[in-house]
């Protein structure tokens, strides 16, 4: 029989469709051919720095700004969705519709000079440096008084919405708090008021006790496939220390996250064969970074299924694989002990 | 400069990214090759009725149940997401997580015996009969006391989430009210209390006055590209008569909708060349079918863009085409007078 589960952090429902159930390995695809290490036409490859806007941050030893001696580089997005001019004033059109300027920031973090160096193949310290660079840019962008929320994400592969092969993340600083975040905050606040604690902390505790959906449980981070995962192999990486904002990650935690993120992606690549995926960081609005009730986390969504009319019409997702089974398949492939 | 617009029916924000702006015709693709009129292996083609569960409704003259003399046929989905056994009782797992049985109904409406007969190429009366058949199944399914909401939708093409080429719609009767519908109802209720009228009726009135986003304005339906469309060529078809539920559509309205829907899809095919698309009906929960504050409508989403990490992480969509421009391009191609 199918089962409907509720995501307690959003109150959204997910249908687990037993008639359509697939085994975890059914989602594996022929791994795509690896790209070359260098691509002459790629604006993110070293030597092509003049094809991007000037950098706003780079990690290099010696060398000078915008030369090719960097190993992590952050630039404004040439095709920015938001730009740092305008105001946050709401305007009413025709006495009815509401709009505002597209004010904000949109940056690209180039993860490595090597065109083909996906995170699973990096050294741990390289992933750590990506995380520290994201933190650095977050901390700069949050000072702009028009910014309300900073959204950090990564698109890998065309089904995940990118046309650029060269490994990169994106940072968008928005002048509004998105409704979906407002709802997460409202649900978490209500839980906090009712129970006196953070819903994410309590959820981690339950998952740890139960164990079946946990991939890894380290001192700093827990990796799990959530109870009401929206799609097969959806993975959450949550800091074990309560913290509402990614901005407050400490150096030692960034180091640990580098390791855990690399291993998590390696596990997914191992089973699914370099799948297209999105990675997003859910973090509090800037004014709520110190709240007791919210908890930041990373969410990984391999794009192995397509959102169809039912999802668009209802907001209910249909998942064809149980998180208990996908988690077990990852643990098995990684030789991790069952929790 | 980019602009951020609010969808007043959901309070969601959409970024219109001027740096990434495309002209309406840039979304056109080479039209896909038309499928054959009959496909031996297709379970929906006539003669293959025994490969599907027995029909629950069919329009035929003479003949008998499950023979091949039908012209519209409704069957239970062989790979149903929900099934009519179980209860709506919520269950708590591990004293924390919430779930329930996947109780409900999932049906498929086969639009025509002809494997290749897409709606734009049908006769108006054929589309009308599809709509009446959907209404008939809605009215039956709503009698099941476990059903709360009926979601009607159509997936066309693989990017829209279907693997079956033969033209069909789907009907899912769910035992829960989805959160996304709860939010639409909450926003509409608040508007009703503040303004004493239906937000959708008022929006239609504004759109009619302004004219730039309107494709067609008939006695029974208005067709428009909404002010805060999430993706290029998103189209809403709204009944001009206030009604919260699709279930309450009258015969004359179904006739008019048949015409308008066929023309709308023909216009989209004309410009975009048989694009993959989703069609969904937003309608009130069964217990709210007579409410003054909600208004049912059809929403058409051509799948010309991909949802990426930013949309997943923030719920904010980035649209690369203004509805004013896409609406103008459709009117121009159709030879419709500018509103």
d(CA A89, CA B146): 46
> Taking CB atoms and an 8 Å cut-off, how many pairs form between chains A and B?
242
Across the interface, do B179 and A11 touch by the CB < 8 Å criterion? yes
d(CA B120, CA B271): 13
Per-residue pLDDT band for B337 (boundaries 50, 70, 90) equals low
- The confidence score (pLDDT) of residue A25 equals 83
Encoded tokens for A256:
């640990």
Q: From B180, which residue of chain A is nearest by alpha-carbon distance?
A: A315
- Nearest-CA distance A159 → chain B (Å): 7
What phi and psi values does residue B333 have, to the nearest 5 degrees? -65, -35
> Which residues of chain B are within 8 Å of residue A181 when distances are taken between CB atoms?
314-315
Mean pLDDT of chain B: 95
- The confidence score (pLDDT) of residue A283 equals 98
Q: From B155, which residue of chain A is nearest by alpha-carbon distance?
A: A309
Query: Which positions of A are annotated as active-site residues?
Result: 168
> Which residues of chain B are within 8 Å of residue A228 when distances are taken between CB atoms?
97
- b (16+ CB within 10 A) / e for A94-125: eebbbbbbbbbbbbbbbbbbbbebbbbbbebe
- Nearest-CA distance B99 → chain A (Å): 4
Q: From B81, which residue of chain A is nearest by alpha-carbon distance?
A: A17
Considering only the beta carbons, identify the residue of A11, A80, A97 that sits closest to B8.
Answer: A97
Considering only the beta carbons, identify the residue of A16, A161, A308 that sits closest to B278.
Answer: A308
DSSP states of A236-282 = EEEESS--S-GGG--HHHHHHHHHHHHHHHHHHHHHHSS--EEEEEE
Query: Which positions of B are annotated as active-site residues?
Result: 168
Considering only the beta carbons, identify the residue of B4, B170, B279 that sits closest to A99.
Answer: B4
d(CA A154, CA A118): 12
d(CA A21, CA A32): 25
> Which residues of chain A are within 8 Å of residue B316 when distances are taken between CB atoms?
174, 176, 178
- The confidence score (pLDDT) of residue B185 equals 97
> Which residues of chain B are within 8 Å of residue A14 when distances are taken between CB atoms?
none
- Nearest-CA distance A37 → chain B (Å): 25
Across the interface, do A98 and B202 touch by the CB < 8 Å criterion? no
**Matching residue, tokens 């049906």:** B107
Considering only the beta carbons, identify the residue of A17, A301, A313 that sits closest to B280.
Answer: A313
Q: What is the ipTM of this complex?
A: 0.96
- Nearest-CA distance A182 → chain B (Å): 10
Cβ atoms within 10 A of the Cβ of A194, count? Answer: 9
Q: From A200, which residue of chain B is nearest by alpha-carbon distance?
A: B96
**Matching residue, tokens 């805060």:** B228
Higher confidence at residue B339 or residue B252? B252
Across the interface, do A101 and B1 touch by the CB < 8 Å criterion? yes
Cross-strand bridge partners of residue A319: A16
> Which residues of chain B are within 8 Å of residue A299 when distances are taken between CB atoms?
312-313
pLDDT in tens, chain A (339 residues): 899 999 999 999 999 997 777 888 888 877 788 899 999 999 999 999 999 999 999 999 889 999 999 999 999 999 999 999 999 999 999 999 999 999 999 999 999 999 999 999 999 999 999 999 999 999 999 999 999 999 999 999 999 999 899 999 999 999 999 999 999 999 999 999 999 999 999 999 999 999 999 999 999 999 999 999 999 999 999 999 999 999 999 999 999 999 999 999 999 999 999 999 999 999 999 999 999 999 999 999 999 999 999 999 999 999 999 999 999 999 998 777 655
Strands (E), chain A: 3-7, 12-16, 57-60, 70-76, 91-93, 97-101, 105-110, 149-156, 168-174, 214-217, 221-224, 235-239, 277-282, 297-302, 317-319
Across the interface, do A179 and B153 touch by the CB < 8 Å criterion? no
- The confidence score (pLDDT) of residue A338 equals 56
Nearest to B226 by CA among B16, B3, B55, B7: B7
This prediction has a pTM of: 0.96
- The confidence score (pLDDT) of residue A339 equals 52
Per-residue pLDDT band for B339 (boundaries 50, 70, 90) equals low
Across the interface, do A101 and B4 touch by the CB < 8 Å criterion? yes
- Nearest-CA distance A329 → chain B (Å): 22
What phi and psi values does residue A266 have, to the nearest 5 degrees? -60, -40
> Which residues of chain A are within 8 Å of residue B78 when distances are taken between CB atoms?
19
Using only the alpha carbons of chain B, give its radius of gyration. 20
Per-residue pLDDT band for B338 (boundaries 50, 70, 90) equals low
Helix pair angle (B323-334, B251-272), 10° resolution: 100
What phi and psi values does residue B201 have, to the nearest 5 degrees? -60, -45
What phi and psi values does residue A118 have, to the nearest 5 degrees? -75, 155
Is B17 a residue whose pLDDT tops 60?
yes
3-state secondary structure A41-65: CCCCCCCCHHHCCCCCEEEECCCCC
DSSP states of A200-225 = HHHHHHHHHHH-TTEEEE-SSEEEE-
Taking residues B89-118, report their average pLDDT.
97
> Which residues of chain B are within 8 Å of residue A53 when distances are taken between CB atoms?
none
Q: Could you tell me what percent of chain B has a pLDDT over 90?
A: 91
Across the interface, do A81 and B153 touch by the CB < 8 Å criterion? no
> Which residues of chain B are within 8 Å of residue A180 when distances are taken between CB atoms?
314-315
- The confidence score (pLDDT) of residue B27 equals 87
Which helix (H) or strand (E) segment holds residue B100: the answer is strand B97-101
Across the interface, do B308 and A161 touch by the CB < 8 Å criterion? yes
- Nearest-CA distance A63 → chain B (Å): 32
Taking residues B140-149, report their average pLDDT.
98
Across the interface, do A280 and B313 touch by the CB < 8 Å criterion? yes
Please state whether beta strands A12-16 and A317-319 pair in parallel, antiparallel, or not at all (unpaired): parallel
- Select the residue from B105, B303, B310, B311 to test the A interface by mutation, using most A Cβ atoms within 10 A: B310
């Amino acid at each position: 029989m199918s089962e409907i589960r509720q995501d307690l952090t959003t109150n959204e429902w997910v249908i687990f469709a037993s008639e359509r159930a697939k085994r975890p390995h059914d989602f594996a695809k022929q791994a795509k051919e690896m790209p070359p290490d260098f691509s002459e036409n790629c604006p993110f490859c070293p030597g092509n720095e003049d094809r991007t806007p000037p950098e706003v941050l780079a990690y290099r030893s010696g060398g000078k700004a915008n030369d090719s001696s960097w190993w992590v580089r952050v630039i404004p997005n040439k095709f920015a969705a938001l730009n740092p001019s305008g105001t946050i004033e709401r305007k009413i059109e025709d006495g009815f519709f509401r709009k505002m300027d597209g004010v904000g920031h949109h940056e690209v973090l180039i993860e490595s000079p090597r065109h083909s160096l996906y995170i699973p193949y990096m050294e741990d310290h390289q992933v750590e440096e990506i995380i520290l660079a994201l933190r650095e840019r977050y901390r700069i962008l949050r000072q702009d008084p028009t910014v309300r929320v900073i959204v950090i994400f990564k698109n890998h592969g065309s089904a995940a919405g990118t046309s650029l092969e060269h490994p990169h993340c994106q940072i968008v600083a928005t002048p509004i708090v998105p409704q979906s975040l407002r709802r997460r905050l409202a649900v978490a606040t209500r839980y906090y008021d009712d129970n006196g604690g953070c819903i994410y902390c309590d959820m981690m505790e339950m998952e740890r006790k139960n164990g079946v959906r946990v991939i890894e449980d380290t001192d700093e981070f827990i990796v799990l496939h959530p109870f009401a995962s929206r799609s097969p192999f959806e993975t959450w990486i949550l800091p074990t220390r309560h913290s509402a904002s990614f901005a407050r990650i400490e150096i030692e935690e960034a180091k640990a996250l580098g390791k855990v993120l690399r291993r998590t992606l390696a596990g997914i690549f191992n089973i699914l064969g370099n799948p297209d995926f999105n990675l997003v960081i859910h973090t509090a609005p800037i004014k709520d970074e110190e709240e007791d009730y919210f908890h930041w986390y990373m969410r990984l969504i391999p794009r192995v299924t397509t959102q169809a009319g039912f999802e668009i019409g209802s907001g209910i997702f249909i998942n064809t694989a149980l998180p208990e089974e996908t988690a077990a398949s990852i643990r098995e492939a990684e030789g991790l002990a069952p929790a």
